[in-house]
Amino acid sequence: MTPEKFRQLALSLPEASESQHKNHPDFRVRGKIFATLFAQEDWGVVKLSRELQVELLNEAPDVFEACKGAWAQRCHDSISQKRGGRQRPSGTDRRLA
C-alpha cells in the first residue's frame, strides 16, 4: 500500500480529516485519531476492532503486525507499505473502511 493509497483510504471514511501529530500525518473522525502515516518509514498504524485485528493478523502476518505495548492493547496494528502491495488479503480496504 502506497502512502497515497493509505491517505485515500483513510480520507474515504465519513467525516474523516487529515491532521498532524508528532510530525506525521494522522487521520481523525470527530477529533479522534484512527490512523497515522509514517510515509518516510513505509508504514502506517490503524486502530481496529479486536475481531478485525485478529482476523488480519492471521490472514496476512507479512503485512499486518500488532503494535507493541499500550498501542497493542488498544488494537492498533502496523501496516507495512512495502510488504503490503498485492499481498493484502482481499477486501482489506473495505474492511478497514
Counted domains in the chain: 1
Q: Apex CA 69: angle with CA 9 and CA 33, to 5°?
A: 30
- Quote the pTM value: 0.71
pLDDT in tens, 22-68: 889 999 999 999 999 987 878 888 888 888 888 888 888 888 887 77
**Any idea what the CATH number is for the domain that residue 60 is in?**
3.90.1150.30
| Higher-confidence position of 72 and 54 | 54
C-alpha 49/C-alpha 47 separation (Å) is 7
**Which H helix or E strand runs over 20?**
strand 16-21
Residue with cell 510515509: 39
C-alpha 55/C-alpha 31 separation (Å) is 27
In contact, 66 and 53? CB cutoff 8 Å: yes
The parent domain of residue 47 ranges over 3-96
